[in-house]
Amino acid sequence: MGKFIYDGLVKVDFEDRLLLHLQMVIAAKLRRGEAFNFTWKDDSSIGDGRTTVWVHPRCSIVYKFYGSRRPAVNRAWIEALAYTANSPTGLYIVPEPQSDQLRLDEVGVI
């Protein structure tokens, strides 16, 4: 389980695998200077609602991974998440599609 921390105020837990995919999509958008909404469903322990943050190039984001191994990357999942990030509603979590998986350390990315 990892943690997404936005501007030091909003902290939410995501599985490390999902968090890595979100990090890749968010980083790609921010490298291009693009701002967007990021929305997720809150855990039932805090009310079962949803939270939206405005992600922009000047915001502070921390990705805290608790697992010691880097998860494999699913390109199809990155594409699906990026598709939502580029929509008027902004980035939101979609189920992971089936795809060949790629380890970042195997291709020299990390």
56-72 pLDDT, tens per residue? 999 999 999 998 888 89
DSSP lists the bridge partners of residue 72 as 103
Mean pLDDT for all residues in the chain: 89
15-52 pLDDT, tens per residue? 999 999 999 999 999 999 999 999 999 888 877 899 99
Q: Is residue 16 part of a domain?
A: yes
The structure tokens listed for 89 are 């509603």
Q: Is residue 36 part of a domain?
A: yes
Q: Is residue 13 part of a domain?
A: yes
Q: Is residue 42 part of a domain?
A: yes
Q: What predicted TM-score, i.e. pTM, was given to this entire model?
A: 0.85
Determine the pLDDT at residue 92. Answer: 97
Q: Is residue 9 part of a domain?
A: yes
Q: Is residue 110 part of a domain?
A: no
Determine the pLDDT at residue 101. Answer: 55
Pairing of strands 72-74, 101-103: antiparallel
Q: Is residue 15 part of a domain?
A: yes
Give the number of domains in the chain. 1
For 73, the domain range is 2-105
